[in-house]
Amino acid sequence: MNTSGGVMRGDYRMEKVESNFLSRGTTCAGTLFLPDTGKPPVVVMAHGFGAERTFRLPAYAERFVDRGLAVFLFDYRNFGDSDGEPRNLVSPRRHVADWGAAISHVRTLREIDSRRIGLWGTSFSGGHALVAAARYAPVSAAVSQVPFVDGVAVAMNFTIGFVLEATLHALKDFLRALTFRAPHYVPIVADPGTFGLMNTPDSKPGYTALVPEGTRWENKAPARIGLTLLVYRPIRYAKHIDNPVLILGAEKDSLVPQASVARAAGRRKNCRLVSLPVGHFDVYVGDEFERVVELEGDFLVEHLGVSD
């Protein structure tokens, strides 16, 4: 582990510890954000569709450290500082396996209280957090922010023309993979009227606003996700989660139908659903960020506990 110098965060001094782990034999990059207090509970956190851990997630991590929580923030295989090829391979199956490996890794860390683990996901990883909470119990709580919960519902939110084009791109990519050729890439985000895996009016400006300057990230992903996305349904796991869950939905979400989010929340008795009058990308910045990070911090402190 590599430790950075301490920085004051609220009532606590924060340290960042680089702590990598293996997922199915591939090294994943992780960073442990630590408050200087005993053995704190920890929140495991990863990003959404095609994104890296540096895309605004440290802002959430730092605010949770302010509350006395540790945070373990990681990149999926094939993303960011993690190893793996092809780059930017979006795969629900692989991502959820990486969540499992990250949770197992966190349970070995001496700096935190491994009996008190929370999960936090946003957008695509909002669905992953629900699946991981069901599969990799016991965990103490889960936060699912503007979550992708049902691939079928999301597909129905787009035009038939878009779905057909995505399918053709995906088939081309699968064919190239079967013949051991380089992936067929498509844009992750694009302007309306041009093809991208997300091309609603707020997708490109909202997404790219999260990308820090100087990143090596490229706006592209292997097109095969266009097919596998349809069969990914985290909503099926909601009823199997034993721990408390907080779900934050965006009423003006252009990507995720809010009816599907409400259905997912309704499958859990111990689930709090907060509907916000905002768009999908509004929760990452400005006043809405301040609002959601406070709600989430309160929830995590309540269910994980923080010792002075």
In a domain, 183, yes or no: no
**Percentage with pLDDT > 70 across the chain:** 96
**Those residues with Cβ within 8 angstroms of residue 290's Cβ, 6 or more apart along the chain or in another chain:** none
Distance CA 165, CA 143 (A): 33
* Cβ 127 vs Cβ 234: under 8 Å: yes
* Cβ 79 vs Cβ 109: under 8 Å: no
Task: Give me the amino acid identity at 166.
Answer: A
pLDDT at 278 exceeding the cut of 90: yes
In a domain, 201, yes or no: no
Binned at pLDDT 50, 70 and 90, residue 265 comes out as very high
pLDDT at 149 exceeding the cut of 80: yes
SS3 label, residue 15: strand
Say which CATH number the domain at 55 has: 3.40.50.1820
In a domain, 157, yes or no: no
Distance CA 144, CA 123 (A): 8
Q: Buried b vs exposed e over 67-106: b needs ≥16 C-beta within 10 Å?
A: bbbbbbbbbbbbbbbbbbeebbbbbbebbbbbbebbbebb
Mean pLDDT of the chain: 95
Distance CA 114, CA 162 (A): 44
The total domain count for the chain is: 1
pLDDT digits (tens, 9 = 90+) for 194-245: 999 999 999 999 999 999 999 999 999 999 999 999 899 999 999 999 999 9
Distance CA 117, CA 43 (A): 6
Distance CA 292, CA 273 (A): 12
Binned at pLDDT 50, 70 and 90, residue 8 comes out as low
In a domain, 223, yes or no: no
Instruction: Identify the pLDDT of residue 269.
Output: 83
In a domain, 45, yes or no: yes
In a domain, 245, yes or no: yes
Domain extent at residue 82: 2-150+233-304
pLDDT digits (tens, 9 = 90+) for 92-140: 999 999 999 999 999 999 999 999 999 999 999 999 999 999 999 899 9
In a domain, 260, yes or no: yes
In a domain, 181, yes or no: no
